[in-house]
Structure 1
Amino acid sequence: MTQIQVFDTAIYTWFEHFHKYPEVSWKEFETTKKIASILDELGVTYRTFDDVTGLVAEIGTGDEVIAVRADIDALWQEVNGVMQANHSCGHDANISMVLGALLELKDKPLKKRIRFIFQPAEEAGGGALAMLKQGVVDDVSYLFGIHLRPAEELPFGKVTPAIHHGAAVFLQGTINGIDAHGARPHQGKNSIDTLFAIQQMLHATHINPFDVYSAKLTKMHADGGSVNIIPGKATFSLDVRAQKNEVLLDLQNRIEKGFKKIAEMYDTPIDWEWLDMTPGAEVSQDAADIAERSIIEALGDDYLAPAVVTPGSDDFHFYTITKPEIKAVMLGIGADLGPGLHHPQMTFKKEALLIGARVLATTLKNATEI
């Protein structure tokens, strides 16, 4: 078997394993063990953590560190009528591509160290922050990520040197009205009226139309327990997004002001809590330039695609928000992925794994030569 066949077979084998055995955020125990066993087979040193899943491996020598991050968790969703862990997020592909890059580089002479960060809980929004607390990027100069892209963003055979993710934050709220008999609505405070007011407020919130943003109700529950009881209490959730971090903050402030006005108008208290804020991308042009040159070197000019701007988010960008001195970018791999990320039946062309691993290996090696 040739070296190329060994490389291809290894990546496909790793992917099939991680796809078959998904684990949700913070519970990636077996996934961490499997990655560790692969690293043991490859003779690569690594370290795990006592208080969090995931691990970090390293190859090469020198004072400067180039890093790459792979997220390792799966989603919890309904698949064919059954609630289960599911890698519709594509993180099984990310693990496999990053391991493929490690396999390609581990025996090559390197002028700097390359650190491979296998990070938990991207989908929960706190995995990058947990890794930051472990100090995994304290001495990192360049940081790269990689992710398959939906077909609507990038077709198979194309690779982008930069993904410009948007920012996102979620909200859970409670409306504290008063139950009333259906025949005597004047005696209560109907939480459904307040919910409708919140919906109208969100639709009437306008920011500069040149900025990309959205705010929408994604969950509502109001139930008095009987058809003739007007419900006083309700719970609701919001999904709020913007392409720029400062626009997201503005949107949050406007929503909070709207809640206060609605609460006053209906004389009904509204409590809320913001959850799982994920920052938008802060892309380093230096890092993106390295990635662009590497795509052309590894694959040819025909594979190069422009930067992708997407409303999706990724906690990868906590690394650069927290440590702005790090030059970071995430590469996007076209895979004819459909129907879409997070769809329970998501599929893609597996050959994209080989493309991603090779271009990532070239990118990391070129970064060590800067």
Structure 2
Amino acid sequence: MPDPIRERLTGLRRDLHRYPEPGWCEFWTTARLVEEVERIGVDELAVGPEAYDPEDRMAIPPEDRIEEWFERARERGVDDDLLTTMAGGNTGAVAVLDRGDGPAVGLRVDIDGLFIEESGEPGHLPADEEFRSETGETMHACGHDAHVTWGLATLEAIAESDFSGRLVVFFQPAEEVSGGGHPMAESPYCADLDYLFAVHVGLDHPTGEVVAGIQKPLAMCHVDVNIRGTSAHAGKAPEEGNNAIHALGTAIESVYGIPRHSEGMTRVNVGRVEGGTASNVIAEHVDAVAEARGETTEVMEYAKSELIHRFETAAELHGCEADATVESESPRADSDPELAEVVAQTAEGVDGVDTVLPAADFGASEDATFLMNRVQADGGLATYLVVGTDHPTSHHTPTFDVDERSLDHGVDLLTESILAVAEDGP
């Protein structure tokens, strides 16, 4: 990596860290990365609906939330023409370098933040060094600010190299809600890629450690459930009501009793419920947000089907109705060992990397699997790698942070891996 790029890494990451935006609301973040891409100079840059079909998006937030973040971006000086392109929550971008004959290589990084208020306590580096989130309600608590930095710096390093081929960098929105992987995977930019690299920071792997290819990410789905009953006076005539909260309670007990599956592990959770009006009113309405995961896509489908069935059956038992909507989902996809081996061999020569794991189980879920499946179905190879970082607390916590030494490690590893497959293949 050229020294001028290396010298900008920390400043770029901290700039991105100051203004995290939630899924499908990454207006300023997209504008910031577009600014960098245009400075680098690429052969093609597609923003929002130019990069994917908006109809393929999942987990789109309410219009009022999108509009709120849209106006915030305008107040922060985002160009009106660019905002118009992203209107309706069509964020993210794809950047393309065409450099003659050679393989088509993809790199996927995610760009969204989380609804977590970042710690301002002494000892939290972003607070101490004044690059803490400025929004008051969102945070880059999973390292996506580092991911965007890697994507931009790798793009620049490849642009300044003797790379021969086609490089496609996906700056993907809405990973945290599993909403952006599907449209990126369905887009023409993901067609006929020979290789795809996806990457994450940390995940309990320390600074200096690299996982060349994760295995066994859990397929998952997010499900929204609406239960409708009939209200009544809880003291005078409770028999006249159909209690949506009672139906919900029955459903929750039933959901956690879904039988295990012989072909792999499952996970279910009801993570949020809301409903009812008062202690003396039979509740006529309740909402729930739930999820199902599975060791394989097929096992996840089993858990999802059972989860929805149990909500519907519990509602019917109590004289209510239930509507379940799958807001988003993602399949399982395993890293190809041949491409992971390229990463492992490259990592051995990266300054600062002292431990290389050929593979590791992921144990969570990721919608980069949509892109991995697309590439693999087209005959290409894909790997999802992890660049370790010392993070003081777990991902998705108010005091999460990354060791900025891992910024160098990630760019060097991604750049050299891309050059390796372009020159020699796996």
TM-score if structure 1 supplies the norm length?
0.89
The CA distance in 2 between the partners of 1:241 and 1:102, in whole Å, is 34
Deviation of the 1:210 alpha carbon? 7.2
Q: Out of 356, 367, 370, which is 2:421 matched to?
A: 367
Structure 1 segments of 4+ aligned residues over 6 angstroms from their partners: none
Report the more deviating stretch, 358-367 or 296-305. 296-305
Q: Identify the residue that residue 154 of structure 2 maps to in structure 1.
A: 101
One-letter amino acid of the counterpart of residue 60, structure 1: R
The CA distance in 2 between the partners of 1:314 and 1:78, in whole Å, is 23
Does the aligned pair in 2 maintain the 1:48–1:55 contact within 8 Å? yes
Q: Deviations over 1:128-148 (max 9, x none)?
A: 333344411213110101111
Report the more deviating stretch, 237-246 or 70-79. 70-79
Q: Out of 243, 246, 260, which is 1:207 matched to?
A: 260
Q: Out of 161, 167, 172, which is 2:212 matched to?
A: 161
The CA distance in 1 between the partners of 2:249 and 2:28, in whole Å, is 45
2:300 counterpart of 1:302: no
The CA distance in 1 between the partners of 2:2 and 2:106, in whole Å, is 24
Instruction: Calculate the aligned-residue CA RMSD, in Å.
Output: 2.5
Map 1:156-305 to 2 at 5 A: 156-164=207-215, 165-183=217-235, 184-208=237-261, 211-223=264-276, 225-299=277-351, 302-305=354-357
**Aligned residue pair count:** 365
The CA distance in 1 between the partners of 2:403 and 2:293, in whole Å, is 29
SS in 2 for 1:277: strand
Q: Which has the higher strand share?
A: 1
Distance change (3 Å), C-alpha of 1:32 and 1:229 = closer
Distance change (3 Å), C-alpha of 1:203 and 1:308 = same
Deviation of the 1:100 alpha carbon? 2.5
One-letter amino acid of the counterpart of residue 401, structure 2: T
Instruction: Give the fraction of aligned pairs with identical amino acids, expressed as a percent.
Output: 23
Does the aligned pair in 2 maintain the 1:100–1:358 contact within 8 Å? no
Does the aligned pair in 1 maintain the 2:203–2:386 contact within 8 Å? no
The CA distance in 1 between the partners of 2:253 and 2:396, in whole Å, is 28
One-letter amino acid of the counterpart of residue 115, structure 1: V
Q: Out of 392, 403, 412, which is 1:349 matched to?
A: 403
Report the more deviating stretch, 79-88 or 210-219. 79-88
One-letter amino acid of the counterpart of residue 16, structure 1: R
Question: Structure 2 stretches of 5 or more lacking a match?
Answer: 50-89, 121-134
The CA distance in 1 between the partners of 2:13 and 2:317, in whole Å, is 55
2:110 counterpart of 1:66: no
One-letter amino acid of the counterpart of residue 312, structure 1: A
Does the aligned pair in 2 maintain the 1:155–1:334 contact within 8 Å? yes
The CA distance in 2 between the partners of 1:43 and 1:143, in whole Å, is 22
Deviation of the 1:271 alpha carbon? 1.6
Question: Structure 1 stretches of 5 or more lacking a match?
Answer: none
Q: Deviations over 1:41-76 (max 9, x none)?
A: 334433123634323131532153111111122223
SS in 2 for 1:336: coil
Deviation of the 1:343 alpha carbon? 1.8
